Structure 1
Amino acid sequence: MKVSKWSERLFGTPLFEPLVAFSYIFPLLYLIVFLIVPVLSMLLIAFTYDGNISLHWFKSILMDSYYIQLPPRGDFAQKLTTSTGESLYLIRGLDFGVVLNSLVVAALVTLFTAILGTVFAFVMARYNFKGKNFFRIALFIPLLVTPFVNAYVIKQMFSEFGLINYIFHEVLHILPFRIKIDGLAGVVLAQSMAYYPIVYLNAYASFINIDPTLEEQAENLGSKGFHLFRTVTFPLALPGIAAGATLVFIFSLEDLAAPIVFHGDPLAKKLMSYQIFSKFIYGLGERSPEIAALSIIMLTLAVIAFLGIRKYVSLRQYAMLSKGGRWKPRVSDPKPWQALLIYLVLLPALLITIFPQLGVIMLAFSERWTTTVLPQGFTIDYIKEMILNPDVRRFIVNSLIYSGAAVILIVLLSITSSYATSRFKGVLSPILESIVILPIAVPGIVVAMGYFYFFSAVTPENSPLNPTSLYGFNPALVLILAYSIRRLPFAARSVYAACSRFMYP
């Protein structure tokens, strides 16, 4: 009797079932040990000063003008002269200090990707036009990111002698001067071009899932055109758009590739992700309280954004529900002027945003790319090196093995957690559901720092899991654990949706 009572209370089953217990306990323990405890170990370091609990490190960061600078310093854009005597406008951004710079960059990237992703999603969801299948495929291309190389290609595109200046200044003569985008502006540009498909996918799903009868009722009441979109369609799709925008905000905060590529401009270095990385590298991996405190500040910002949007979506989601039945999304043929506008907006935007992926391919078969419009000199030497060099082959094999092992863990964790939370409603169900989604809100670099602090503290000095061991450390298991934690929520939500549809208590 006692067993059945606590079994029903914890797991939602009147009789103790080992499979159900395992489905709860395995993902819970896994996430507690390999996510929550590492973050807590970093918290302990960040809040410790001279052996006592203290806010010293947070005060030193937040009161330092290097981290918080108001009013901002510098000029958003500067007028310069190129080596050929032409006018050049260098766009860098303003310096608000490391913490505020990160917030400003993340906010701007979120805004730009939300606009671009929403426009693309609405057009693709509501209109039939020639070439739609091409656009549908092309919109997924920016998701095929090779982070550092993509950012480098974008930097070359918007350099003073790059492709954008060649087209709009030299050929079309639309720009009377050259432009160069660098510093924080370059980071915003690179991240926006990489992340807008995330908003697009969420917004597209929202638009096609809107019950058409809601819009039809609004039309019967006299609402049409942009007024209909503003008052009915957009508010109904907003939870999905906001969810995608929140992911972009977190990804922007944690991104390291763009700041490293643009770090030739000192302003690009003044971002939290770059500061955490560079201070850790220059400190030779020491357990720095300042790095821990900066990581906690980044984590706090990400968690606030995540929890805020989750609360908002939960309050607004009811508006998407229907009283049963399926519907066909509202799709129409655009008028001639609408079709022209679609092509004039979508085609240039898509060509610019997919060029980095094409540039990566061209760069792989080129000798160099410095101050020219496109890469110079055809060569297959780098491809040969990739195939023939045993070190490079080992890197590729390692990547495949680590990713494959992480996928196996992700699938196991997703199935067990989704089975438990969708089929049974014990006390542990909401706890497990929340913890499974939590990795979305934890920036990757925070996970990395937490793992370093955690494994260096709890494993023996010469253990293969101890990152401070110069000769004994083997990062394979740590990387697999980190990959599985970071990507778990995306798989878990899909499995949960399937379980909710096909499994019933």
Structure 2
Amino acid sequence: MPSAAARPWRARWRIEASPVQVLAALLVLAFLLAFLVVPVGRVFVVAFTGAEGGFTLVHFGDFFRTSLFIESFWNSLYVAAMSVVVASLIAVPLAVILARHRFPGAALITTLGVLPLVMPPFVGAVAMQLVFGRNGTVNLLLMDWFGFRIPLMEGLNGVIFVQALHYFPFILMNLTASLSNIDVAMEEAGQNLGAKGFTLLRTIVLPLALPGYLAGASLVFVKVFDDLATPLLLNVTNMLAPQAYLRVTSVGLGDPMGYVISVILVVVSVIAMAGAALILRGRDFATQQRGGGGLARRPLSPLGKALAWSFVIPVLLLVLAPHVGILLLSLATVWSFSPLPDGFTLAHYATVLRETPQFLTNTLLYCGLAGAIDVVIGVVIAWLVLRTKLPGRKLLDLMAMSALAVPGLVLGIGILRTYFDVKMPDGASLATSWIMLTIVYAVRRLPYALRAATAALQQVHRSLEEAAENLGAGKTTTLTRIVVPLMAGGLAAAFVTSFATAAVELSATLVLATRDVDAPLSYGIYVFMQSAAGRGPGAALGVIAVLTVAVCTYAAHRIAERERSRRMREGRATA
């Protein structure tokens, strides 16, 4: 018989979970290890492994002794930082106008403000060249009328311009939400102390909204720093992500420099996100809402309206420029060295639908499967974290969320290194198969589905599960018959979000897709855009991609609104 001292020790180590819970956790853990942790870990191992097999820093020494890599590193930092600056110059005034003033057309501005996110940045890069490039519409008109050009799309400036215009909605959405949540009493206190106008904004309002701004700014920095497709399409290769891609695809998987650059990409991304958290550490931004307060929204004076519109209209024109440009290119017979196309045709759409229909069907298949995988894994992890006492459950959540810090390029390189020698039944590599491409899409988008599943499960009261269990239902039956149906709205939105964002994934796609027959839309757009003759069909594919993402985004919004309305009706009925 065990001693009294031994029993508490064993009790501490007893697993308070059913076999089904343990099995579910092990399956999720195996998936994350196989397709996230091990591939990314393999990248780190290769980067720190010498020719003789031991630990070394020689490869990093070679990196910092090579002028091209040093230039690429500083260029990437410069482009990411300047993209944040330019995006802030657009987003901050818009957020202040929307949050602080009763502005006519505010709903339209809010809608158009997030429109850039519907278009993939690499598609927008092509469109922006046509509109703002050296021989684009704007510069041709400026040259004819005033005799000068604006070098907006030349070199690194082009990358900054495209990226800032594409990602500024991240700052806009986060900052608008933060500004709207500031207690009006804080503003009134500042006014009572004599602060007015810009002084009040600079000393009271914007500092209190700093968490929202930093959340958006850090996300913009990471997205731009890790982006591969936009620099490649603009023919800018002296940046880190393009250099890593070129080393792996041209020199080969055995070249350690691609892995060294990948490690640097991951480390800088983590530092950027951690840095935003450190800036806020130890500072109190909480306010006490009085009566559901928030910043007082006041009407604008006639002069204020004129100044606001003088800023808003150019911004909205910039927002719409890529969409108009890619649509015109998709319909153009010829568009070169002229402000507008010479003529219009639907032949490009006929070409892509007739000759390359697999790009669309593959996208629907891969992204649909990836979304389904994300929903299933997201539900399982959320259930384990919120509804069980399984040891290590929070580690699963952390592992899944860590995919946010892993660029698609790095994950793609790690998958190639790990599974390139694993063969499919037809002799092809598993790493470059459509199955692996689908899995990579799922891994990259898993954090979005997980957060949506967690939020949906938190809104399902435990009493409903307890009632089912009291009637004899097991935990698995309760999950599948009670909990999941009640989470349906949130899970549908999670599926649509995963699908839409996976549909425009290009970094990992370029690394893993090797055959046109297995390639999705994003790969087709990139391949077509490599030649002048293919720009029309590539633009047609771009319009199809934009419409696909737009429809999915709208569907997610409608599902979320329907779910919110349902909860409000249930709440009123309960009251």
TM-score for the superposition, normalised by structure 1: 0.82
Query: 2:519: which partner in 1?
Result: none
Among 222, 225, 244, which residue is 2:194 paired with?
A: 222
In the TM superposition, what are the counterparts of 1:56-205 in structure 2 within 5 Å? 56-68=58-70, 97-171=71-145, 173=146, 177-180=148-151, 181-205=153-177
Query: 1:11: which partner in 2?
Result: none
- Shift in alpha-carbon separation, 1:472–1:239, aligned structure 2, 3 A: closer
Query: 2:564: which partner in 1?
Result: none
Range with bigger deviation, 478-487 or 324-333: 324-333
Among 385, 390, 393, which residue is 2:351 paired with?
A: 385
Q: Distance in 2 between matches of 1:192 and 1:204?
A: 18
Q: Which amino acid aligns with 1:132?
A: A
Query: 1:372: which partner in 2?
Result: 338
Q: Distance in 1 between matches of 2:115 and 2:329?
A: 17
Query: 1:354: which partner in 2?
Result: 320
CA contact (8 A) 2:183 2:289 kept: no
Q: Distance in 2 between matches of 1:239 and 1:18?
A: 42
In the TM superposition, what are the counterparts of 1:202-217 in structure 2 within 5 Å? 202-217=174-189
Q: Distance in 2 between matches of 1:22 and 1:203?
A: 42
Range with bigger deviation, 238-247 or 419-428: 419-428
Q: Classify the secondary structure of the residue corresponding to 1:52.
A: coil
CA contact (8 A) 2:415 2:431 kept: no
Query: 1:236: which partner in 2?
Result: 208
Residue by residue over 1:442-492, the C-alpha shift from the partner in whole angstroms, topping out at 9 and shown as x without a partner, is: 1111111111111125x3xx3369xxx657765222111111111222332
Q: Distance in 1 between matches of 2:245 and 2:264?
A: 15
CA contact (8 A) 2:165 2:319 kept: yes
Q: Distance in 2 between matches of 1:53 and 1:339?
A: 63
Q: Which has the higher contact order (CA 8 A, sep 6+)?
A: 1
Among 377, 396, 399, which residue is 2:363 paired with?
A: 399
- Shift in alpha-carbon separation, 1:324–1:349, aligned structure 2, 3 A: closer
Residue by residue over 1:48-75, the C-alpha shift from the partner in whole angstroms, topping out at 9 and shown as x without a partner, is: 122221111110011222222xxxxxxx
Query: 1:82: which partner in 2?
Result: none
Q: Distance in 1 between matches of 2:378 and 2:281?
A: 22
Identity %: 29
Q: Which amino acid aligns with 1:494?
A: A
Residue by residue over 1:319-338, the C-alpha shift from the partner in whole angstroms, topping out at 9 and shown as x without a partner, is: 24547973355322111111
| C-alpha displacement of 1:191 | 1.0
CA contact (8 A) 2:419 2:429 kept: no
Query: 1:340: which partner in 2?
Result: 306
Query: 2:255: which partner in 1?
Result: 288
Q: Which amino acid aligns with 1:52?
A: G
Query: 2:424: which partner in 1?
Result: 463
Q: Classify the secondary structure of the residue corresponding to 1:375.
A: coil
Runs of 4+ in structure 1 over 6 Å off: 1-4
Among 433, 438, 455, which residue is 1:480 paired with?
A: 438
Among 244, 251, 260, which residue is 2:223 paired with?
A: 251
Residue by residue over 1:190-229, the C-alpha shift from the partner in whole angstroms, topping out at 9 and shown as x without a partner, is: 1111111122122122222223333233333333222222
Query: 1:440: which partner in 2?
Result: 404
- Shift in alpha-carbon separation, 1:37–1:249, aligned structure 2, 3 A: same
CA contact (8 A) 1:202 1:241 kept: yes
Root mean square deviation of aligned Cα:
2.7
CA contact (8 A) 1:155 1:182 kept: no
Q: Which amino acid aligns with 2:448?
A: F
Q: Distance in 1 between matches of 2:73 and 2:164?
A: 20
Q: Distance in 1 between matches of 2:184 and 2:451?
A: 26
| C-alpha displacement of 1:16 | 2.1
CA contact (8 A) 2:367 2:441 kept: yes
Q: Distance in 1 between matches of 2:14 and 2:159?
A: 52
Q: Distance in 2 between matches of 1:328 and 1:110?
A: 27
Q: Distance in 1 between matches of 2:95 and 2:25?
A: 37
Q: Distance in 2 between matches of 1:411 and 1:386?
A: 32
Q: Distance in 2 between matches of 1:221 and 1:111?
A: 31
Among 251, 261, 269, which residue is 2:237 paired with?
A: 269
CA contact (8 A) 2:17 2:389 kept: no
Q: Which amino acid aligns with 2:184?
A: P
Q: Which amino acid aligns with 1:490?
A: Y
Among 247, 257, 264, which residue is 1:297 paired with?
A: 264
Higher helix share: 2
CA contact (8 A) 2:134 2:149 kept: yes
CA contact (8 A) 2:79 2:156 kept: yes
- Shift in alpha-carbon separation, 1:229–1:39, aligned structure 2, 3 A: same
Q: Classify the secondary structure of the residue corresponding to 1:269.
A: coil
Q: Which amino acid aligns with 1:248?
A: V
Residue by residue over 1:155-199, the C-alpha shift from the partner in whole angstroms, topping out at 9 and shown as x without a partner, is: 22222332222455545x4xx522333111111111111111122
User: Gaps (5+ residues) in structure 1?
Assistant: 9-14, 69-96
Q: Distance in 1 between matches of 2:462 and 2:277?
A: 25
Q: Distance in 1 between matches of 2:254 and 2:18?
A: 44
Query: 1:44: which partner in 2?
Result: 45
Q: Distance in 1 between matches of 2:394 and 2:353?
A: 49
Q: Distance in 1 between matches of 2:351 and 2:294?
A: 52
Q: Distance in 2 between matches of 1:488 and 1:446?
A: 16
TM-score for the superposition, normalised by structure 2: 0.73
| C-alpha displacement of 1:31 | 2.3
| C-alpha displacement of 1:304 | 1.0
Residue by residue over 1:138-160, the C-alpha shift from the partner in whole angstroms, topping out at 9 and shown as x without a partner, is: 11211121343321111222223
- Shift in alpha-carbon separation, 1:301–1:287, aligned structure 2, 3 A: same
Q: Which amino acid aligns with 1:410?
A: D
- Shift in alpha-carbon separation, 1:474–1:276, aligned structure 2, 3 A: closer
Query: 1:309: which partner in 2?
Result: 276
Residue by residue over 1:360-403, the C-alpha shift from the partner in whole angstroms, topping out at 9 and shown as x without a partner, is: 111111123222222332111111123333xx212211101111
Query: 1:85: which partner in 2?
Result: none
Would you say 1:428 and 2:396 are equivalent positions? no
Higher strand share: 1
Q: Distance in 2 between matches of 1:3 and 1:386?
A: 65
Tell me the matched-pair count: 454
Q: Which amino acid aligns with 1:456?
A: F
- Shift in alpha-carbon separation, 1:128–1:101, aligned structure 2, 3 A: same
